[in-house]
């Protein structure tokens, strides 16, 4: 048991690339959240403090609380309408309002378990590290619910996660900012999730661990309930991920990605062969294996699936217009900054 002191500071992102390379060394539990369209970064100053430091703080994250069901459903309906708007101005204004709300309530942190009175928030490790109040909320015939509850048509999103070696991070951030400058409105979907989270991960000797000190980039953004429905902003987000995976040799998070991200993943782990040896020794009959795990681990087959609209769902990287939605104006084209990327871009009819 120990205590931590947490303060969130928002600054412009002009020196983000430089700061990212050393922020993890300045604060034991520090991280960053990039708001690309707003051109801001939320820096988390989070450090271990003496056990006698006054404070009984709590991390009760706003997004992980139980909320009235009706607004969750209506909020999703509004989001669906905004996502289909190619102009995206209203979509960005809604994202800005979400960021302002979270900032106003200190992202759910309180100084005494019920009220936020100012930074720093000091509390015990187990009260600060994680949040999940919704899981313990009472059943009330769905008058309230968790935003992700499958019994309601609430939030539904993609989550992409990948780690990039610390030495390559400044260049990657510079490329991301260049892409943002080319298509700023397309990044509002990241702002709507209160930013792209940058977490620090130490190098590990584990066979499938990170071979170098890295930053893990976590991105959450809107997903349609309708399979194969294109989105006018996905081309930029897909380019971003392909840039990370292929130009900067990012290692995908095992649980936070779509199919195409896992193609060739095992080649990025220098000790992959040792892992497969242990796997074979302890599970020679494949009791704990599946068709999916064999594909991801490079044992048999490929995780990519090539079919009509496959790139829309992230099942493949497009190589043909049919992998997108040409009947709706979406074609397989090169990326704007990372031109080796192949993404489904909307091309208006003239």
| pLDDT per position as a tens digit, 29-71 | 999 999 999 999 999 999 999 999 999 999 999 889 999 999 9
Q: What are the domain boundaries of the chain?
A: 3-137+146-252
Sign of CA dihedral 325, 330, 335, 339: positive
Beta carbons of 6 and 49 less than 8 angstroms apart: no
Architecture of domain 3-137+146-252: 2-Layer Sandwich (3.30)
How close are the terminal C-alpha atoms of the chain, in Å?
65
- pLDDT band for 159, please (50, 70, 90 cuts): very high
CA angle 251, 252, 257 (to 5 degrees): 170
Q: Specify the pairing of strand 214-222 against strand 144-145.
A: unpaired
pLDDT value at residue 87: 66
Give residue 342's pLDDT.
Answer: 98
DSSP assigned state of 103: H
Mean pLDDT of 143-170: 94
Question: What confidence tens digit (pLDDT) does each residue in 328-341 have?
Answer: 999 999 999 999 99
Task: Give the CB-side neighbour count of residue 137, counting CA atoms within 13 A.
Answer: 21
Whether the per-residue pLDDT at 86 is higher than 70: the answer is no
User: What is residue 161's DSSP assignment?
Assistant: E
pLDDT at 137: 87
Q: Is the pLDDT of residue 215 over 70?
A: yes
User: In terms of DSSP H, where are the helices of 105-258?
Assistant: 125-128, 169-182, 188-191, 234-242
* Percentage of the chain exceeding pLDDT 70: 99
pLDDT band at 350 (very low <50, low <70, confident <90, very high): low
Lowest mean pLDDT among 76-80, 240-244, 305-309: 76-80
SS3 string of 49-85? ECCCCCCCCEECCHHHCCEEHHHHHHHHHHHHHHHCC
Task: Report the distance separating Cα 217 and Cα 212, nearest Å.
Answer: 15
What average pLDDT is seen over the chain? 94
What is the average pLDDT across 108-136? 94
């Amino acid at each position: 048991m120990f205590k931590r002191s947490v303060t969130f500071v928002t600054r412009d992102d002009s020196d983000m690339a430089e700061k990212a390379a050393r922020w993890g060394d300045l604060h034991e539990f520090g991280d960053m959240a990039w708001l690309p369209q707003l051109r801001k970064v939320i820096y988390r100053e989070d450090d271990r403090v003496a056990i006698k430091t006054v404070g009984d703080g709590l991390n009760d994250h706003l997004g992980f609380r139980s909320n009235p069901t009706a607004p969750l459903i209506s909020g999703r309906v509004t989001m669906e309408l905004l996502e289909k708007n190619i102009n995206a101005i209203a979509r960005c204004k809604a994202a800005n309002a979400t960021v302002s709300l979270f900032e106003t309530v200190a992202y759910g942190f309180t100084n005494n378990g019920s009220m936020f009175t100012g930074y720093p928030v000091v509390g015990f490790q187990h009260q600060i590290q994680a949040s999940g109040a919704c899981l313990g909320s009472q059943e009330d015939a769905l008058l309230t619910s968790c935003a992700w509850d499958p019994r309601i048509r609430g939030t539904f999103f993609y989550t992409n996660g990948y780690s990039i070696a610390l030495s390559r991070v400044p260049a990657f951030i510079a490329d991301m900012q260049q892409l943002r400058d080319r298509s700023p409105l397309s990044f509002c979907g990241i702002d709507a999730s209160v930013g792209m989270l940058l977490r620090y991960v130490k190098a590990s000797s584990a066979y499938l661990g990170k071979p170098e000190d890295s930053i893990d980039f976590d991105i959450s953004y809107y997903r349609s309930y309708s399979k194969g429905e294109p989105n006018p902003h996905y081309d930029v987000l897909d380019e971003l991920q392909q840039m990370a995976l292929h130009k900067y040799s990012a290692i995908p998070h095992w649980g936070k990605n779509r199919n195409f991200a896992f193609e060739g993943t095992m080649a990025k782990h220098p000790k992959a062969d040792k892992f497969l040896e242990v796997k074979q020794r302890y599970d020679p009959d494949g009791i704990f294996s599946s068709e999916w795990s064999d594909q991801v681990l490079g044992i048999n087959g490929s995780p990519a699936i090539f079919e009509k609209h496959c790139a829309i769902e992230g099942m493949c990287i497009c190589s043909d217009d049919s992998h997108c939605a040409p009947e709706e104006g979406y074609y397989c084209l090169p990326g704007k900054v990372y031109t080796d990327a192949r993404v489904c871009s909307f091309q208006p009819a003239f």
